[in-house]
Amino acid sequence: MKTILQVNQLTGGYSTGKPVLHDVNFDVKAGEMVGLIGLNGAGKSTTMKHILGLMQPHKGDVTLQGKTLAEAPEVYRGSLAFVPETPMLYEELTVKEHLELAAMAYGVEKKDYEERVEHLLTLFQMNDKYNTFSMHLSKGMKQKVMIMSAFLVHPPLYMIDEPFLGLDPLGIRNLLDFMVELKSRGASILLSSHILSTIENYCDRFIVLHHGRVIAQGTLEELRQQHRYLGDTSLENIFYQLVKGGA
């Protein structure tokens, strides 16, 4: 299976003397959804910022389809789409204008744009908000615009940070089902979430970050075996045991 994202011995943070991340290693392969989980301050957002190229590693590197950002900046940036935890929209642009802006940035053809937008607006129940200015949207609706903007393009990798905040139950279910659909087409997804009971049944593998280090990774069954948990112990229970002891 082709490796899309490779994080190799990544050490980094906001100041050289005090790294947040310490020798972080993991990958994401084509057609799989990987859950990045950890307590607040574990280093999840810092990891994502390094992948996005917003922070420079102190040591190690990040490659996307075998290339670093420095080697092939346009190819690298065009190979991923990001949904941040907090919606960031232009208040004086409509939903339609945000989606058109995303399509132009990624070079989405007009025919593809029209088909994808129709599907996304229906899926997230936003048809009647298409021409609404973002300043008039609820937080949940703003989050849907961010999600639709990312899913409008079809890059190899989607990075999604706490996407369920502000979404109603139907929105959460539709988002999860759509991510499964994307995965079936061969897309890779790196998903960060605190709602472990929800992502347990959707992610193929999990990476557990604690104090800036990867303390466990693998499928749910592999995590159970690695840490000698018997039966159908949940992801939430495994995570609790791992971080409770300060592993």
Q: What is the pLDDT of residues 92-118, one digit of tens each?
A: 999 999 999 999 999 999 999 999 999
Q: What is the CATH number of the domain that holds 219?
A: 3.40.50.300
* 213 domain residue, yes or no: yes
* 173 domain residue, yes or no: no
* 220 domain residue, yes or no: yes
* 87 domain residue, yes or no: no
* 112 domain residue, yes or no: no
* 122 domain residue, yes or no: no
> Which of 100, 87, 77 lies closest to 156, judged by CA?
77
- In this prediction, residue 49 carries a pLDDT of 95
* 232 domain residue, yes or no: yes
Could you tell me how many helices (H) and strands (E) the chain has, helices first? 9, 9
Q: Is the pTM of this model over 0.85?
A: yes
**Sign of the alpha-carbon dihedral angle for 15, 19, 25, 30:** negative
d(CA 48, CA 160) in angstroms, rounded, equals 9
Q: Which domain holds residue 229?
A: 1-79+157-166+188-247
* 141 domain residue, yes or no: no
> Which of 155, 160, 152 lies closest to 176, judged by CA?
160
Residue 247 above 50 pLDDT?
A: no
The model's pLDDT over 55-79, given as tens digits with 9 standing for 90+, comes to: 999 999 999 999 999 999 999 999 9
Count of domains for the chain: 1
- In this prediction, residue 127 carries a pLDDT of 96
